Amino acid sequence: MQQFENFVFRYRAHIISILGVFTVLMGFSASNLTMDAGYRKMLPVGHPYIDTFLQYSEAFGGGNRVIVVLEAKHGEIWTGDFLSVLKNATDDIFFIPGVARHTVTSLWTPNTRYLGVTEEGLEAGDVIPASYRPTPEGINQVIENTLRANLPGRLVATNFKSAMIRAELLDFDPETKQRLNYFQVADKLESFRTKYTSGDIDVKIVGFAKFTGDVADGARNVVVFFVVAFALTCLMLWLYCRSWLLTMVTVSASLCSLIWQFGLLHIFGFGLDPLSILVPFLVFAIGVSHGVQQVNRFGAEIASGLEKEQAARLTFSFLLRPGSVALLTVLTGFATLYIIPIGMIQELAITASIGVGLKIISNMIMLPLLFSYISPGAGYAEKVNSAVAARARFWPYLAKIAIPRNAMIFIGLCFLLGIVGIYQGADRQIGDVHEGAGELRPESRYNMDSKFIASNFALGLNVLTVIAETPKSACVDYGVMDFLDRFAWEMRNVPGVETTHGLTAIAKAGNALWQEGHLKMRAIPRSSTAISQATNQTDTSSGLLDGQCTILPTQIYLTDTKAKTVNTVIAAVEKFIRDPANQSDDVKLRVGAGNVTIVSATNQEVEDSEIPMLLYVYGVVMALVIIVYREWRGSVCLVVPLILSTIIGNWFITGAGIGLKISTMPVLAIAVGIGIDYGIYEYNRMQLYLRMGRSPYEAFLGALNDVGSATIFTGGTLAIGVSTWIFSELKFQADMGLLLTFMFIVNMVGAVTLLPAMVAFLEFIMPLERRPLTEEEAREALRAH
């Protein structure tokens, strides 16, 4: 340590100059960083559902759907003007970049056909024929064809006051051959809305592209919250250290690492995903928390009468070890997110780990070097000593928690609190808790549009497609068709299912038509010829069969994508598949397409990865502490408060109605990391004083005098900073702000109560071995005394 300290400070001017040039270069690179979103990045690769999804999504729709609804504000849609606007709108959707044009469906597209019975036999054709004219007779013909095609609830609202256009998006732009830019698509959809919204017509738009655009628009406001949090942090830091110079240098060091992070992200080919845009600013907050410890220590050394360079040297050697251990633990917390096989989460793990790793350079090395050039000014030592004396009055009361008797009582209370937290947190939801897009507020335009579509259409955005793999020509095989019809019937009776759609429904309706529309004949005929006759108007563009009749999807439309709804329907599908009575050599059912498939697979991966992720983090914390401090007790003392804070956090999530999903799961890793930030500095001091022969009470009192005020101040400052996010127009940002505010405070309280109580308890039952202090520890102990 002494050699490293000498080397760093001998070449401090060179190091600061190199880092300054590096900051300029990274700033230039960071200026080119853009937001980046992709549909495939949201998929949990390797999950069985997603394997099926990737295999069949191109042919049967992958769930990356855009739904546009035109609503007639006055009366019904059966007017010449409205149908004309619907035709123009359909044409515009057709030419939006990335739209799979063969999937565009509305009343005007040739894949929307009817089949009806007349006196002369069966009649089939386009719902809006080529001969259509906007006359009363022509409009009446469209109405009749719409009813024959059974389109109410599908392409026409059940009250006839709105009509739907739907299309699938590709993940690349066929014209540019580049990955689809979802933000541009969202802008075009918003321009589309502006173009067709009038006094007579309103436009509703939902789909992943529009959702991504709305999230990105809201995420851009994160700059406002960052500026507010930055100003509050500066103010609070000045109130703590009473020096604007030290305040600006400290926050500037954290800003430098943020610039380095953004610059490296661009160089490595990453962008900022709208759902994880807050993470770099959280990494900035972590840097500030370590900066507070540096300011606290530097100020104490100045107050003791040391010159600035010597004070900076002692600050460097005093905090490098605990600070690096804490940052490595935070880095591990983020890195363990990589075990979740979702592209967006893995990118977040990489980018956040880079940011935290850079904090070791900016806060543990660069900041003390900058301090060595700073003279806080005359009277600064008196200000520090006065502040320390004022805070020291409260420490003896707080230190009583480290008296063995008090410690045991407090640990018992914490144990009971943990039991209650486990019980209360058992109802926590993995996935969305509310209807609509959980990342947006219920009153957002997107969620209002989603609610309108769900209440007026049976076939909306929330679809689960179950793929039936069959032998050739299974679509005319009665046994296969009857099996799939029974499956569809059972699914329609599952709570949360709006309706189902598949080839069997068309076969039954077609058979009834061939029998003069007799409802009694609305069943699947046993003859292959009759089945073929009933379904021959259905082609592959319908998404209900393939060219050889070997793939027969059943589409299950859900009322919403709340965790409870999705879990109920998926459980019903899996139960049907596993039921021995439903085993067939000719039919293999696989959950495989639609957006609900992705939601379910993602929720399952998040649930399966949570416990391993936390265990990895706890394991790394224990390993690092054992390696650095050469004893196991510290690892236990640090991990127990983390476990309790995680339990309390789950309890809070349940009570606050926040679902655990990919946009909120990083909070767990952040909370664990911040908890270590608080605890490691406390334990570092307590261990030293215990080895000097002091009691746990005296050791904790000494730790409070050294780092206690910085720990409590950091918790309060970070909580105040992130609390501003509660006012974000994005619900997931508001949820993260609320949860982080709570977790910052809980972790801070745990570090100054449960951690010293655990130290006192272990010291009582198994006293720490007193060993001769190293030269560095002896010097520090003497100076501290």
pLDDT of residue 785: 45
Q: Which residues in the chain land under pLDDT 70?
A: 61-63, 378, 668-673, 768-785
Q: Checking DSSP bridges between strand 99-105 and strand 162-169, what pairing results, if any?
A: antiparallel
Which residues neighbour 253 within 8 Å (Cβ) at sequence distance 6 or greater? Answer: 287, 291, 362, 363, 366, 367, 370
Q: What is the CA radius of gyration of the chain?
A: 32
pLDDT score recorded for residue 189: 92
Cα separation, 692 vs 56, in Å, equals 68
Two tokens at 116? 């009806």
Phi-psi region of 305 (alpha: psi -120 to 50; beta: other; left: phi over 0): left
Residue that has been written with the tokens 């853009």 in this structure: 34
Closest CA to 311 of 264, 367, 255: 367
**Residue 661 token pair:** 């999903």
Q: How far is CA 692 from the centre of its chain?
A: 47
* pLDDT score recorded for residue 639: 87
Say if CB 455 and CB 559 are below 8 A apart. Answer: no
CA atoms of 258 and 361, how far apart (whole Å): 12
What does 399-451 look like in DSSP terms, one character per residue? HGGGSHHHHHHHHHHHHHHHHHHHHHGGG--BSBSSSS-TTB-TTSHHHHHHH
Cβ atoms 592, 467 nearer than 8 A: yes
pTM above 0.95, yes or no: no
Nearest Cα to Cα of residue 720 among 735, 742, 746, 747: 742
pLDDT, position 84 = 93
